Structures are given as structure tokens and as C-alpha cells.
Copies of this chain bind each other. A is one copy, B any other.
Amino acid sequence: MPRKRNAHRNADTPTLADVARLAGVSDITASRVVRSKGPIADATRARVLAAIAELGYIPNRAAGSLASSGSTLMSVLLPSLSNIVFPDVLRGIHTALTETAFQPVIGVTDYDPLIEERILLSFLAWQPAAVILAGLHHTPTARRHLEHGRFRVAELMDIDGDPVDIAVGMSHWQAGYDTGRHLVQRGYRRFGYAGHSIASDDRARARYDGLRAALKEAGLLLIAEERVQGPSSTIAGRHLLEAILRKAPGLDVVVFPNDDMAMGGIFHCIHAGITPKEQLGIFGFNGLDIGQAMPLPLSTILSKRFLIGKTAAEKLLESRERPAEKTIINTGYDIIVGATA
């Protein structure tokens, strides 16, 4: 004899069984209607749908996920949302997921692998169908779970490395290298770099390394370098350019790690009466719309953020099982000549 029944039930929340009873079918038939799975007679489906509407039934995905040991969640771990780059990636993911049953679940890691690991583990507790994260660098624990999990994995932005499953992005080292070659070819010789603390941003560091390699090849080097602590911002870019020009007045071009900071550089030029390009080249990275809306469009590199997100999500949807072969997709980038360098 059971001691108690339905002890900790949600009293007024209707369950599938309630729907089934009202529709006069079995639980499992109602379940099939909800999931659009298996053959169902039109009349039966209609009855079940009517019952669902009448009761305001909302499926309990926890129960569903438990029973089927799987979910339609796609975990997305991004370093930041303040940096417009990642919202763009996210839009791409969203676009690919519309009209599918999959649902993105977003976490923000603040560029910290330990936070990434913590959020990853808490997401895995929901048995996601796939995990999307930024970069190829993770903690050993995170990497282990990514490799052994029964879910697809996409690592975005960067392709210089060995992915777990799928990598979608571009070579940031190459982009930095091409930046250097491009600017040298345009006649610039006295280079400065105004960046942010590079420790946390692997990709900015790769571009920086590529830039230096290109300069070295041309027999040049960075004459001056200036960095802010903390996150990159337009105001930081503005102050940094002022500082670097005070220390090294003879520069003829300054490269920034992104468009936000480069725009700060432009603003300093306007303020100080420096003509961009003619007196001082300014070069960014990302190809943000706002930089192209300026009176002098920013010279920069267009990274294809939306495409990266969209491509990754589409690839993940192709198969639930991880294939034997790893996939690397290079979405490339474009040099925007612009008017500032």
C-alpha cells in the first residue's frame, strides 16, 4: 500500500496524461502528436491538439529529456556580448536554427577559460544536442568533456589549431600578416600598435603576431606599442593614440586590434587636426557598419561573423553523430581599403 500519492505534484499544471484523457487516447499517442512523430490519424491529431489548447498544456521538457536522454538544446558559449562581434555570430546561429526544433542556450564566459569550463559543465547537465564555443583553447577538463560527450561540437572564429569536431572561422594570424603586407605595400613604414591587454584575447594576439611577422619580412618593426588594461573601447583607443603619438611622434600608421578602438583613433585625429591617411594611417579589424558610416570610411578587415555562426549551426544540424573526420571551414575575410590608411 503506497504511503502517499502525487505528494509533490504540481497541482494545477496539466500533464500529457490529462491531455490524453481529455482527447480519449493513450498517453503515448498524445506524446506522438506533441512531437509530430510516428503515424497519427488526422482526426486523432485534431482531438489531441484541441485538448492541448483547451488545457493550455505545456510539455515538461525535463521529463522528455530524461526519458529520451537527449534534448533539442544547443549550448552556445560566447566570450562577451559587449563586443558586437558575438551578437553577430549569434544572429547567424539563430538564423540557421529558425524553423528547426533546436533552441540556443547562451552563456557568457568573459574570455575566461575557467568560467567557460564552469558554464560548459552546467550546460552539459541539460544534455544538449550540440555545443558551440569560441576559439580552440579550453581548459583540459573542458576539452576532455567536449571530446567524450555524445553531442556535436563547433568551435568558432579561429581555425589555427586542432578542433574537437568542427571549426568555423578564419586564420587570425593570416589576417594580421595580410594587414602588414597591405600597409607596407601602400607605402607605410613607421608602424605603431595600440591594443588592449592581449592575454585574454587569443585572436587579437594571433593577429598581432601575424602583423609583426609581415613587418619583419619587409625589414621593418613596430616602432611603438601602447596597451590599455581592461576591455577595449572607443575612448581607450582615443586616449591610446594620443599617448602613442606623444611618445613616438614620427609614426605614419597605427594598427588597432579592432574597429572600436580604431574609431577612437580617428576621433583623436579629428580632435588634434591630424588628417587620417595622409598624415597618419589608421587601421582596424572587424569591418563594423559604424566604421563604414563615418565621413572617411575606416580601413579595416571584414570578418564574416554572421556567416560563421550560420555555417556552424547548419553544419551541426547535418548529423547528430560526430563523424570520424574533423571539419575545418575557412570563411575567410576581406580587406576593406577604406579611406583612413
Binding site for B on A (CB under 8 A): 8-10, 13, 56, 58-63, 65-66, 68-69, 71, 81-82, 84, 87-88, 90-91, 94, 103-108, 119, 121-122, 124-127, 144-145, 150, 233-235, 237-238, 260, 263-264, 267, 270-271, 289-290, 292-295
A195 to B58, CA, bound (A): 39
Contacts of A233 in B (CB 8 A): 289, 293
State which of B91, B105, B294 has its C-beta within 8 Å of the C-beta of A82. B91
* Leading 7 A-B pairs by shortest Cβ distance: A81-B87, A62-B65, A61-B125, A234-B293, A235-B293, A106-B106, A271-B295
Of all chain B residues, the one with the shortest Cβ separation from A88 is B82
Contacts of A65 in B (CB 8 A): 62
Contacts A122-B103, A150-B10, A295-B271; A234 near B62 (Cβ below 8 A): no
Are B60 and A63 closer than 8 Å at their CB atoms? Answer: no
A36 to B308, CA, bound (A): 40
State which of B9, B104, B289 has its C-beta within 8 Å of the C-beta of A234. B289
Are B144 and A56 closer than 8 Å at their CB atoms? Answer: yes
Of all chain B residues, the one with the shortest Cβ separation from A63 is B66
Contacts A8-B69, A71-B62, A293-B233; A105 near B106 (Cβ below 8 A): yes
Distance (whole angstroms) from the CB of A142 to the closest CB of chain B: 12
Of all chain B residues, the one with the shortest Cβ separation from A235 is B293
Contacts of A124 in B (CB 8 A): 58
Contacts A10-B69, A238-B293, A293-B233; A126 near B62 (Cβ below 8 A): yes
A263 to B291, CA, bound (A): 11
A150 to B107, CA, bound (A): 24
Contacts of A119 in B (CB 8 A): 103
Contacts A82-B84, A263-B290, A289-B233; A58 near B121 (Cβ below 8 A): yes
Distance (whole angstroms) from the CB of A268 to the closest CB of chain B: 8
A127 to B289, CA, bound (A): 39
Contacts of A150 in B (CB 8 A): 10, 13
Given contacts A60-B66, A105-B105, A233-B293, 12 further A-B contacts (CB under 8 A): A56-B144, A58-B121, A62-B62, A62-B63, A62-B126, A62-B127, A82-B91, A84-B84, A234-B290, A238-B293, A264-B293, A267-B293
**CB<8 Å pairs between A and B, sample of 8:** A61-B122, A62-B63, A84-B84, A91-B108, A234-B289, A234-B290, A235-B292, A263-B293
